[in-house]
Amino acid sequence: MTVSRVQVGGADPYDVVIGTGVLGELAGMIGDRARTVAVVHAEGLPEIARPVCGALEAAGYAVHALPVPDGEAAKEVGVLAGLWSRFAELGMTRTDAVVGVGGGATTDLAGFAAASWLRGVKAVLVPTTLLGMVDAAVGGKTGINIPEGKNLVGAFHPPAGVLCDLTTLMTMPREDYISGLAEVIKAGFIADPTILELVEDDPAGAAAPDGPHTRELVERAIQVKADVVSADLREAGLREILNYGHTLAHAIEKAEDYRFRHGHAVAIGMIYAAELARRAGRLSPEIVARHRAVIASVGLPTSYGIDAWPGLRKTMTIDKKSRGATLRFVVLDGIAEPGRLEGPDEDLLAAAYQEVAR
């Protein structure tokens, strides 16, 4: 299989390399100034972290594998503080590097550890999940969770490169892979309708990591994110469209103590945002129905608890897109026509939620 590249522009441009056997690119991304490389990896992925460490050792680096908890449990202050202590023990300097290997939670943590150590060292990310490849590892957003909300503490710290080995997708549990499809579908709704058409034409194929369009779906979703973050790294305006569906999604994740899959929450959040736009007179019922059909076709959820609204609404108050007391939503005015809805009426918010309640 050939290797493809998507460049993410900006002040510090870098490549996202997509294909198989991509570890040969790793040393070139780290460079020859580094002496020590800390490989932060999900503890459940030693068989994937091992060849990463081997490739780095073969290139002459002093390599140290630092396992962290799997999933969102990694994105905690205590885990981050533990990495800082290990970096200090290893004598890591500003010319050294951090490599993050794992899903989106692991690369978020590794990126923030790199961003905060000595005010910033080089990071290279090796996402091993669909969600990590198309979303978390691309764009330079890093962060951890606190009890009050998800990703409220973090930094913008673009990696030196991202390596997406598509063979790792074959090792994913089916539900985790399908969860990652929510971010792919989101890219279709906000920017690339071809993604939606590929899913609609073959939902079963889209839901399988060895499906006929897997590579194209991954590449298209990455290209959407690269185009957006190249123009707006720090979410000054355009980048907010990548948060389509995420306002409600993050509230659901908090309500579930982050045990609810991110993609499942985003799927529900997109339908909520679509219903909100419809009730605000901005989106047609047909496109709302298309949201439900595409999302359901790959096995993603379309509803959430009927009694959950009061708690979810309270959590949304501290959403990162809010400005002062004004709640802001990314909505659509049409397919690939994202916009914003600011300060919607409380009755509108509640009525839209009833459309996803069960």
CATH number of the domain at 41, please. 3.40.50.1970
250 is catalytic: yes
Domain count, the chain: 2
Q: Answer with the one of 171, 203, 227 that is the final residue of a domain.
A: 171
Query: Would you state the pLDDT for residue 325?
Result: 64
Reported as half-sphere exposure (CB side, CA atoms, 13 A), residue 185 has a value of: 31
In the predicted model, is pLDDT for residue 270 greater than 60?
yes
Indicate if 204 and 346 belong to the same structural domain: yes
- Output phi, psi for 88, to 5 deg: -65, -45
Q: What is the average pLDDT across 229-246?
A: 85
35 is catalytic: no
262 is catalytic: yes
Q: Look up residue 287 and give its amino acid.
A: I
pTM of the model: 0.92
Query: Would you state the pLDDT for residue 320?
Result: 55
Range of the domain at 41: 4-171
Query: Would you state the pLDDT for residue 322?
Result: 56
In the set 122, 141, 186, 291, the catalytic residue is 141
Give the separation between CA 52 and CA 349, rounded to whole angstroms. Answer: 47
Indicate if 166 and 180 belong to the same structural domain: no
Query: Would you state the pLDDT for residue 37?
Result: 98
Q: Answer with the one of 148, 171, 194 that is the final residue of a domain.
A: 171
246 is catalytic: yes
Q: Answer with the one of 171, 202, 222 that is the final residue of a domain.
A: 171
Indicate if 190 and 256 belong to the same structural domain: yes
pLDDT in tens, 284-326: 999 999 999 999 999 999 999 999 999 999 999 876 555 556 8
* Tokens 């609609």 belong to residue: 200
pLDDT in tens, 60-87: 999 999 999 998 899 999 999 999 999 9
The residues near 258 (Cβ < 8 Å, ≥ 6 apart) are 71, 72, 73, 75, 145, 150
219 is catalytic: no
Q: Are residues 88 and 95 in contact, defined by beta-carbon separation less than 8 angstroms?
A: no
Q: Average pLDDT over the chain, rounded to whole?
A: 94
Indicate if 158 and 109 belong to the same structural domain: yes
Would the annotation count 74 as a binding residue? yes
Q: Are residues 182 and 266 in contact, defined by beta-carbon separation less than 8 angstroms?
A: yes
In the set 76, 215, 240, 243, the catalytic residue is 243
